[in-house]
Amino acid sequence: MSRRAVVTGGAGFIGSHVVDLLLADGWRVAVLDDLSTGNEANVDASADLIQFDVSTSDGWLSALRGADTVFHLAALPRIQPSFDDPVGHELVNVVGAIRCVEACRDAGVRRLVVAGSSSSYGVPRRLPTPEDEPIDPLSPYALQKYAAERNCLVLGERYGVPTIALRFFNVYGPRSFSERNPLNAYSSVVGIFARQKAAGTALTVTGDGLQKRDFVYVTDVARANLAAAISERPFGVYNVGAGEPISILELAKLFDHPYVFVEERQGESRTTWADISRIRAELGWSPEVSLVEGIEYGEAEL
């Protein structure tokens, strides 16, 4: 019998790639998404799309009924807007996660995989950064992502819902660019550069461009979600990155196209660099797509 998954945020960038991988792996998949930043067109026709707001209490149980695994990716995932509306972001990012784990308990779900974020480390003292690095969020969003994963782990343990939190680093790849969220996340700077190059405009490098990011290709992130879903380990927290940072300036140079410098953003770390030894050892996952390959795929997509 095929396994049944619910993917919250499955109409979004990362969630839709998780959906694609699960379908390819023979799962039956339902997507819960309010389409606020996501897009119906991202959802494969063989998945069921249910328009649903994760922050509300109603309808969770029937939405999860029959699912053995839940991937909770729904969130308002941008740093800068979380400063403008911290309460609205809290409701989706934290309350939504709590409602999700409660519903997993009620529906008898056997595995919850929840999306965390490398932004929760703030300015890490250790590079590469291991999972036991102190949490020191620099934005409401970063704090909320930590609260979400911690609530899922603590409540999951109490409720008997095995839960794995994955801390994604800077994810890039097809569908990262949303018309509703343009130009406001490092996560999509690879996609932004690809679009700027295709449009014949200069690439916009923020600050001095020497800030480094650990870019991980979105299909690799989807594979990490699947690895967490099928793991025998009941609970855990894992970094999901390439394990190799690159500066934004070096990234711009890889595009072989003119660039200009624009104003720096507040509330972001200088360097992100994942220590991925734990996920390699415990979930048997490692990244497969190099940055050069990932950029080529992205440019071919435009």
Interacting residues with ligand NAD (CB under 6 A) = 9, 11-15, 33-38, 52-55, 73-77, 92, 96, 115, 117, 145, 168, 170-171, 178, 187
One-letter amino acid for residue 27 of the chain: W
Q: How far is the CB of 288 from ligand NAD (least distance, A)?
A: 18
> Of the two residues 70 and 260, which places its CB atom closer to ligand NAD in the complex?
70
User: Of 65 and 202, which has the nearer Cβ to ligand NAD?
Assistant: 65
Q: Which residues of 239-265 are buried (b: 16+ CB within 10 A; e: fewer)?
A: bbbbbbbbbbbebbeebebebeeeeee
- The Cα–Cα gap between 41 and 62 comes to 24
Nearer to ligand NAD, 97 or 203 (CB): 97
Give the single-character DSSP code of 42. Answer: G
Query: What are the angstrom distances between the C-alpha of 18 and each of 117, 123, 140, 219, 225?
Result: 16, 29, 26, 8, 7
Q: State the Cα–Cα distance between residues 240 and 290, nearest whole angstrom.
A: 14
Please confirm, yes or no, whether 238 is among the known catalytic residues. Answer: no
Q: Among residues 141, 172, 238, 259, which one is catalytic?
A: 141
Q: Provide, rounded to whole angstroms, the least separation between the CB of residue 10 and ligand NAD.
A: 7
Q: How far is the CB of 202 from ligand NAD (least distance, A)?
A: 24
What's the angle, vertex CA 142, arms to CA 60 and CA 85, rounded to 5?
A: 75
* Token pair belonging to 206: 């923020």
CB 137 within 8 A of CB 146: yes
Instruction: Tell the residue number behind the tokens 């939405």, with chain if given.
Output: 63
Q: In this structure, how many other beta carbons lie within 10 angstroms of the beta carbon of residue 72?
A: 27
Nearest of 286, 285, 287, 278 to residue 133 by alpha carbon: 278
Distance in Å, CB of 54 to ligand NAD, minimum:
4
Closest CB to ligand NAD among 186 and 259? 186
**What's the min distance (Å) between Cβ of 135 and ligand NAD?**
14
Judged by CB, which is closer to ligand NAD: 2, or 136? 136
Which of the residues are catalytic? 141
